[in-house]
Amino acid sequence: MQILSHCLFAGAVILPLPLACLWDYDTLAVERTEFPGIHEMIVGQFARHSPAYYRWRIADRSAMPFEQRTPEVEDDIAVAHEKLGDHDTAIRITNEKIERWPVTGRYQSEANLATFLIHAGYSGRCFSPSPSRFFSFSFSVVGRRLAE
C-alpha cells in the first residue's frame, strides 16, 4: 500500500515538474494572446522583458501600501524577483502571501512556489513523500465547499 501511495504521489507531483509555470500579470497576458509558432519558439522570437523592466515592476508594485496590495500584486512582485534570479526572495514573498491569503489564489501561489523551488534547486527536497500532506489542502477546501 505504501508503494502504491508513493507511486501515485510521483505521478501527481514529480512527473509534471517540467510543466511548472508562473502566474503573474505578464505571463497571463501572453497566454491570452496568440502564441508564437514553433519556428519563433526555436529561434527565440517572442516577447521578453529586460531585467530593467523587472526591477521597475518590483519598485512600482512595492510602492503600493502593504494593506492595499492584492494577491495578484504579490504574484507580480514575486515573479519579478524570480525573473531576476532572486529565487529566495520570490519564495519568501510567496510564503508570506500564502500566510496572508490562505485560500484566495491558492493554486497560483502553489504553482509559483513550486516553480521557484525548482529553479532554486530544491526540487529533490521540497516535496514531502507523504501524499496525504500534499492533498490535505485540496481535501479540506472540497470538504468545506460540500458542507456549505
Q: In Å, how far from its chain's centre is CA 18?
A: 13
Residue 90 forms part of a structural domain: yes
pLDDT digits (tens, 9 = 90+) for 106-127: 999 999 999 999 998 886 555 5
pLDDT digits (tens, 9 = 90+) for 20-41: 677 777 777 776 666 666 766 6
Residue 13 forms part of a structural domain: no
Got the DSSP string for 69-80?
--HHHHHHHHHH
Residue 60 forms part of a structural domain: yes
By three-state DSSP, how is residue 127 classified?
A: coil
Query: pTM higher than 0.75 for the full model?
Result: no
The Cα-based distances of 136 to 29, 73, 84, 131, 142 in angstroms read: 31, 27, 33, 8, 10
> How many domains is the chain built from?
1
CATH of the domain at 95: 1.25.40
Residue 11 forms part of a structural domain: no
Range of 51's domain? 19-147
Neighbours of 127 (CB within 10 A): 18
